[in-house]
Structure 1
Amino acid sequence: MNFLMLTTLDVLGRRNNREHHVIAAARQRFDQVTVVFRKRGAADRRFGAMMTTDRMAEIKGNVTYIGINPLLNPPDGAVRARTQSEDKNGGHLRRAVGHAMDSAAILRDKMTIRALHDAGLSVTDSAPLVTMALGPWAARAAERLRSSGHIGPYVYVDRDYEPGFMTSPLRRAWAMAQERRAVRQADLTLCIGRRLAGRFENIRGSTIKLSPTGVDSGSIPQRSRKTPCAKLLFVGEVAPYSGIEEAIAALPAIATHQADAVLRVIGPVQDGYRAYLEHLADVAGVRDRIFIMGSRDRSEVFQELDQAGIGLAVFQPHPLRIHAAPLKVLEYMAAGLPVLALEGSEAGDIVTGAGIGLVCACTQAGIMDGVLRLLGDSAGYIAFSLAGPPAAAARDWAKVMRDEFALIDSLYQNGRGTG
């Protein structure tokens, strides 16, 4: 049998996403793997280019990558740059334009569905296929392929709260409807977290299973912390929702109790927002305690994980973040780093369920109190550190993929055909 993946993630332009681990597992299980994905819009992609479509193919061993550039595919991040202000001041007209662009992006979603479907047609006439669609637009493409008889059952992977990426109410409603349709139509739905899965409990006839986010636990250096340490670390995208502003505000009070308190931030950040965070640190009088490092190689991330004392995953309670199972939490866990996460979120559920840290509100007072509680309880701090690596091993990608493909095998072996 062969394997077909449909996804909106640029798998050749990104790394260490769920898709990459599915591909690695699939290439060991199937004769041929085909990945149809949407390419990111190039930074210099102008309006004229957005009115055209193109397709590329690249073969690596038994994996064929087909990248599609649908109509109306704007430069990567162009809409978000217009809907998020780099600071709290001004930008109302700019954001209004961005919201209008986001509403119009429904057309882009539809063009994406069509392009994924059309590219999928080129590979569905070979051997029987196991088909996986990641995200609602890919699921709509798979639904069309099944309706036309080109594939049999397909698996929908719900790996994000898709409406959380949208700013316009119209497109959010559209995304919610597409997610529910994907769950209703798919032969099997795999949700990466319990909060995502809980949204679809009332959809009759659906088959929903949990397949959590994993981590390469063996690749991350593990260290048991024997003494509480006030070196705070945030790993991930640095954006207004990330909780960095609140952590900066909390740092002066933390430093009055812990003289060595610092905050190190590693991950992609726009220049304007970096400048804004540094300004906040200046105003708070903690500029010498804040280090915003931007993107770094994985080796440097591992070094930061090893040297830190507390991993932060306390972001603003936006629906997108509440439903996410952040890789940062799992990497903190694998490194033996006690974690402070947002209460009432999937990340917080992971932290409390695994016994690797505490939860708090994303406020100056919440973060201050959470950090000081972690540092003030040596026995608890050490226990959180010791619990991390075995909890991460239980969520290693190899195990997650074995369990996931066992569910998929059951779908295709229970008399439901393969197309």
Structure 2
Amino acid sequence: LIVCTHDLAVTLTQRPHHLIEYLARMKKRVTFLHLRHLYEQPRDKGSPYIRKKVKIGGVEVRAIFAPFPSPLLNIFRGLCVLLHVLLFDKHRYRVGINQGDPWIGFVFYILRAIGVIERYVYEDLDYNPGGHKNWLFKRITEIAEYYSIKVSDLVICVSLNLLRLRNRWRINRVIYSPNGVHLSLFSRAIKKKAHPPTILYIGSITEYFGLDIAISVLPSLLKKIPEIRLIIAGSGYYLDDLKRIINKYPEIKGHIIFLGRIPHEKIPDLMAESDIGLAIFPPSELMHYACPIKIFEYMAAGLSIITTRGTEAARILKKYSVGLIINYSVENLKEAILKLFMDGCLYKRFSMNSLKFSVKHDWNKIFHDEFKEIESLYLEYVLIHKRTVS
């Protein structure tokens, strides 16, 4: 049993989507629940998850209707999941996996106590308190996250920064399982098409991803590289704010392309016409612990990458030498972009390293290792249970 509290038909392609594809290929029998909030959102009409229930291989994906995603109503998400499982699901499960929601940890605790699941795994995808600016909501979320993790049998961290944090909490069993990339899909991006100097951003459009300074740097870049362009592919609530910034600089309007949300399978074609992948973040706790999937997709496409200090992304860039790490400022971003476009040898080295080391982050290998650990956890439980009975 796997529970994700995002609507899979709304969010951009993330770890849960890749996990479902992997489990379907491996012919695993899984029930995957995701939440559909009771308000209008732009959903991907082409997504199979638009339906209330869909079967993908051996994976049955069901949408559960839930309240608005307000901090005041977070606890009701868990109640919706619990009621659905108790009233409409007659199965018993070996393992229950919580995909990183601190507000449904109590659900898995109860399901384990009454025998619906036998082991509880917390997949640690983000530092959830880091997403709150209100100190009270942040503190409440910290407590919820702590206990959701503390009562689990296994914690799977997607970043080493998260792993270090959870180890300080003295969690019994914690492993590292980073995000990855669909290598066979992104291999299409290696064969480059003719294009002007291009900076690319792919992902959600929010204040956490540094798009304001990416736009603000363009006027000075145009003086050095007149053909340069910035492509932004994604959607989010911050789009109107970005357009207001663009209106301050009339000269850049023809050099910024907003593509909106594009199908994941078309991203490699876009990367084949790009040179630099952006992953810049203003300083925040949320991004310090986050492991952006875009980093590995940029790498698989052979792009050079720019990211900011003090983040998990910076650790990855430093480890593999696939790009430049900067302080979060317009001036530092300008210098990094010019350096990559002007220094062909440096760019080529980063690009070759990106291709070389992206193979370490193939989703198939990552999920294979992760489920090997989960199977080991369950086998240990079976052995202990047998000894107790005998």
- TM-based fold match above 0.5: yes
Q: Which amino acid aligns with 2:29?
A: Q
Distance change in 2, residues 1:303/1:184 (3 Å): same
CA displacement 1:256-311 (0-9 Å, x = unmatched): 333332222121144523431321332xx323322223222335532221111111
Distance change in 2, residues 1:289/1:60 (3 Å): closer
For the residues of structure 2 that align with 1:66 and 1:344, how far apart are their CA atoms? Answer: 38
Verify the 8 A CA contact 2:34 2:62 in the aligned structure 1. yes
1:212 aligns with 2:209: no
For the residues of structure 2 that align with 1:298 and 1:23, how far apart are their CA atoms? Answer: 15
Report the alpha carbon displacement of residue 326 of structure 1 after superposing the two structures with TM.
1.3
Structure 1 residue aligned with 2:326: 360
Structure 2 residue aligned with 1:192: 158
Q: Which amino acid aligns with 2:97?
A: M
Report the alpha carbon displacement of residue 336 of structure 1 after superposing the two structures with TM.
0.2
Q: Which amino acid aligns with 1:212?
A: P
1:395 aligns with 2:361: yes
Structure 2 residue aligned with 1:297: 263
Q: What is the CA RMSD across the aligned residues, in angstroms?
A: 2.8
Identity, % of aligned pairs? 25
How many residues end up aligned between the 2 structures?
373
Structure 1 residue aligned with 2:213: 246
Structure 1 residue aligned with 2:75: 110
CA displacement 1:352-375 (0-9 Å, x = unmatched): 212111111221111012112223
Give 1:326-365 correspondences, 5 Å limit: 326-365=292-331
1:369 aligns with 2:326: no
Verify the 8 A CA contact 2:122 2:154 in the aligned structure 1. yes
For the residues of structure 1 that align with 2:241 and 2:350, how far apart are their CA atoms? Answer: 33
Q: Which amino acid aligns with 1:133?
A: N
Verify the 8 A CA contact 2:192 2:273 in the aligned structure 1. no
Distance change in 2, residues 1:259/1:57 (3 Å): closer
Structure 2 residue aligned with 1:94: none
Identify unmatched segments of 5+ residues in structure 1. Answer: 45-54, 77-101
| Dislocated runs of 4+, deviation >6 Å | 224-229
1:234 aligns with 2:201: yes
Identify unmatched segments of 5+ residues in structure 2. Answer: 42-50, 386-390
Give 1:240-279 correspondences, 5 Å limit: 240-270=207-237, 272-279=240-247
Verify the 8 A CA contact 2:12 2:203 in the aligned structure 1. no
Distance change in 2, residues 1:60/1:300 (3 Å): closer
1:9 aligns with 2:9: no
For the residues of structure 1 that align with 2:124 and 2:376, how far apart are their CA atoms? Answer: 19
For the residues of structure 1 that align with 2:232 and 2:28, how far apart are their CA atoms? Answer: 43
Give 1:10-409 correspondences, 5 Å limit: 10-14=7-11, 16-27=13-24, 32-43=29-40, 57-70=53-66, 73-74=67-68, 105-106=71-72, 108-122=73-87, 126-135=91-100, 136-220=102-186, 221-223=188-190, 230-270=197-237, 272-282=240-250, 285-298=251-264, 300-409=266-375
> For 1:153, what is the secondary structure of its paired residue?
strand
Verify the 8 A CA contact 1:130 1:418 in the aligned structure 2. no
> For 1:268, what is the secondary structure of its paired residue?
coil
For the residues of structure 1 that align with 2:3 and 2:264, how far apart are their CA atoms? Answer: 27
For the residues of structure 2 that align with 1:351 and 1:250, how far apart are their CA atoms? Answer: 22
